[in-house]
Structure 1
Amino acid sequence: MASSQFDQLTGQFLRAVRDAGGGLGAVCTACVRVLPVRRAAIVLEERDAGMQPWCASDEFAERVEHAQATAGEGPAVTAVADGVPVVITDLSADCEPWPGFAEALSGVPVSGSLFAVPLRLGAIRLGVVDLYRESVGRPGPRLLSASLHIADLVTASLVLATGDDAHQWAQPLSSRWIHQAAGMTSAQLGIGIPDAYARLRGYAFTHGLSLVEVARRVVERSIRIEAE
């Protein structure tokens, strides 16, 4: 893309974020408005908890992101670890590199393609913007170039969010449940926080639940993670 096209895309994206009300949810909406994609999600890397979804443009994307969080693996995890975009050309058939993610998705009707674009500032790994298309196949070079530019804008927004804007980028309730549940499990079982997250993820995987659903039930004390 030429410099003028990047400038035009920047203006379109910032206007779309403003029109959608600002904040992280508006960023997901803006991605769908300015890129030829059907849906979008942003997942951020949280200490010990791993990659967690912070926003999604619809329920389809939200289900896929929670499957990644529950499995602890998937295209977003790989993208942020390797620092390069990761493409799933067909969500219904091409998840073999991540067997846990594929199994977590097994009960979810999925279709189309996904590409995960890392959000990085130098050596700092923030997370990923996941972009979904209804068609299968790899994104073309123009779409990939535009997506990398949008990822840079999202990264800048995350880093620069301060003052009155900061509350709009606050940690979502689902993520707070997971951290609280890990703290409770750590205290109850006398184990470290990383092990507590692993126990929560293992319980979710074994019982066919999402990580956030298990965390919510632990916080509400409707289930308790038992010692092995």
Structure 2
Amino acid sequence: MGQFDQLTDEFFSALEFLTKLSADGGAMAALCGACVRVLPVQGAAILIQERDVGLQPWCASDPIAARVEAVQATAGQGPAMDAVAAGVPVLVADLGATAERWPGFADELNRVRAAGSMVAVPLRLGVVRFGVLDLYRARPGRPEAAVISAGLHIADLVIAQLIAGSAKSAHTTAQWWDRPLTSRIIHQAAGIVIAQLGIGAPDAYARLRAYAFAHGLSLAEVAQLVVDNRIRFDT
């Protein structure tokens, strides 16, 4: 059995186990967990490209990865965004040294005190861009070529699962994966801002992101405040 064949078997075994272990059958979260089980990384997250708002976190294996993904979503910049745009993995040897390349990302990252290294692997099939698989290591350092190669292989398996899940959801009432609550709240908040200001969807998301950045909040936190009517943009 070849190296990638063994990695594939290990990934699907971990995915099956974690999906069954989840009380709600959360296969999306199981995907992140399976990545951590079979790769030499300590964290993983999957971001999906959503219309108008851009990349949004759909799952994270741990609180640290979740915080970094919230930072990218709020700042609208970071390794995940560059990976989608370029279509190639983006390496970050030290999360504490990103100010020159992504100043907004670095500012927000300092607030959540995340450290270590990461590689952002694009999730794409031909010209279709699904999102990004972010892989985290606890210590700074450039990922080895073997780690990147294995990450690319796992990213292909993740894409296959996303496609299979979408096809299955189209024929059943229960979805294999579903948009996370934070993403739904962000879209709901954008709809409220559109109604308040009479602007288009891209401008509404930009208003939410700008408010979050200016007030040291995450995009999801601002969206919840808007939905709760604690922030209005028409006053």
Bin for the TM-score computed over the shorter chain: over 0.9
Q: Give, in whole Å, the separation in 2 of the partners of 1:165 and 1:19.
A: 23
Q: Please state how far the C-alpha of 1:165 moved relative to its aligned partner.
A: 9.6
Contact (CA 8 Å) 1:44, 1:127: kept in 2 or not?
yes
Gaps in structure 1 of 5+ consecutive residues = none
TM-score (norm 2): 0.92
Q: Give, in whole Å, the separation in 2 of the partners of 1:5 and 1:165.
A: 38
Q: Does 1:25 align with 2:29?
A: yes
Structural mapping, 1:46-85, within 5 Å: 46-85=50-89
Q: How many residues are treated as equivalent by the alignment?
A: 225
Q: Please state how far the C-alpha of 1:220 moved relative to its aligned partner.
A: 1.3
Corresponding residue for residue 134 of structure 1: 138
CA shift digits 1:44-69 (9 cap, x unpaired): 11000011000000111111000000
Contact (CA 8 Å) 2:89, 2:119: kept in 1 or not?
yes
Corresponding residue for residue 182 of structure 1: 190
Q: Which amino acid aligns with 1:13?
A: F
Q: Give, in whole Å, the separation in 2 of the partners of 1:168 and 1:215.
A: 26
Corresponding residue for residue 11 of structure 1: 9
Q: Give, in whole Å, the separation in 2 of the partners of 1:37 and 1:152.
A: 17
Q: Rate the CA distance shift 1:25–1:190 in 2: closer, same or farther, 3 A.
A: same
Q: Does 1:215 align with 2:220?
A: no
Q: Rate the CA distance shift 1:226–1:101 in 2: closer, same or farther, 3 A.
A: farther
Q: Give, in whole Å, the separation in 1 of the partners of 2:62 and 2:160.
A: 24
TM-score (norm 1): 0.95
Corresponding residue for residue 173 of structure 1: 181
Corresponding residue for residue 39 of structure 1: 43
- Which residue of the other structure, out of 116, 120, 136, is the alignment partner of 2:120? 116
Contact (CA 8 Å) 1:70, 1:204: kept in 2 or not?
yes
CA shift digits 1:186-221 (9 cap, x unpaired): 111010010000000001011110000000111111
RMSD: 1.4
- Which residue of the other structure, out of 218, 223, 233, is the alignment partner of 1:225? 233
Corresponding residue for residue 193 of structure 1: 201
* Secondary structure of the corresponding residue to residue 167 of structure 1: coil
Q: Which amino acid aligns with 1:71?
A: A
Q: Please state how far the C-alpha of 1:135 moved relative to its aligned partner.
A: 2.1
Gaps in structure 2 of 5+ consecutive residues = 20-25
